[in-house]
Amino acid sequence: MNAATVREPLTASVEDYLKAIYNLSPEGRPASTSDIAHRLELSAPSVSGMVKRLSEQGLLEHVPYKGVQLTNEGRRAALRMIRRHRIIETYLVDRLGYPWDTVHAEAERLEHAVSDTLIQRMADALGNPHADPHGEPIPTADGLIEEISATPLPEIPLGDTVEIRRVTAGDPERLRYLASLDLKPGAIITVVERQPFQGPITLRISGRLQVLGHELGSSLLCSRSTGR
C-alpha cells in the first residue's frame, strides 16, 4: 500500500457507527437506517448522510430496500472497537472492582482513547479472556470472534438444567437486580415451572426457588450445563 492509499485514522463517530451496525447485524443481516438512528440516538437525516460517507469510504455497502452491511474492512474496524470495549469492561470488573452494571458507560468513554498496545496488555493481564462480564464474546487481536450458541431462558424445556452464558439486559437497574439474584454468566439453573402466555418462570438456583418475569428471563441466554 503506498502513501496515497493509506487511510486516515477513523474518528470516534465513525467507530461508533461501525460498532452499532455490527451489533444490529446478527449473522450479517442488513441494518436499517432507522435502527441505526435509534441505536445512536441520532436523527434519520444525520444517519443517512453518514451512511453515504461510509459507503464512499468502502466501509459499508447498501443492500437495496433492506439497509446496509459492513464490508470486510468495516467489519474489521467494528470488531477492533468491540474488542476494546469488552476488554475494558472486563478489566474494570476483574481488576478494579467495578460492578458489572456500571462498566458499559465507562468503556464507551475509554474505548476511543486507549492504544491497541494498552488493550493488549490489559488482555494479557486478564489471561486473554474469551468473554466479558456479561458473557459477550471478545474478538481476538486478529479480528476473529467466536459467537456463543445459546438459547433464551423462556425456550428452555421444563426440568432442564442449564448454564447462563450471556446476559443481554443492558439497563443498569436490570443488571443490578439480576446480580442480586446471582443470575450472571456461569450460574447453573434448573427450569422448574413456566406459566402460559409469557407468564413468569420459576427457577432453581443454588438450592432455592426464584421467580422471574418472561421479559427479563428472555435476556438470559443459556446452554446445557456441563455438570460442573
Model pLDDT for residues 2-32, shown as the tens digit of each residue: 444 446 789 999 999 999 999 999 877 899 9
* Chain mean pLDDT for the chain: 92
Query: What average pLDDT does range 87-102 have in this prediction?
Result: 97
- The architecture (CATH level 2) of 3-70 comes to Orthogonal Bundle (1.10)
* Residues whose CB is less than 8 angstroms from the CB of residue 154 and which lie 6 or more positions away in sequence, other chains included: 194, 198, 201, 214, 217, 218
User: Of all residues in the chain, what percent carry a pLDDT higher than 70?
Assistant: 95
Residue 34 pLDDT greater than 70, yes or no: yes
Predicted confidence (pLDDT) per residue in 161-175, tens digit:
999 999 998 899 999
Domain 151-224 has CATH 3.40.640.10: no
The Cα–Cα gap between 134 and 127 comes to 17
Q: Which triple of cell numbers denotes residue 44?
A: 434519520
Domain chopping of the chain, boundaries: 3-70, 151-224
pLDDT digits (tens, 9 = 90+) for 103-147: 999 999 999 999 999 999 999 999 999 999 999 999 999 999 988
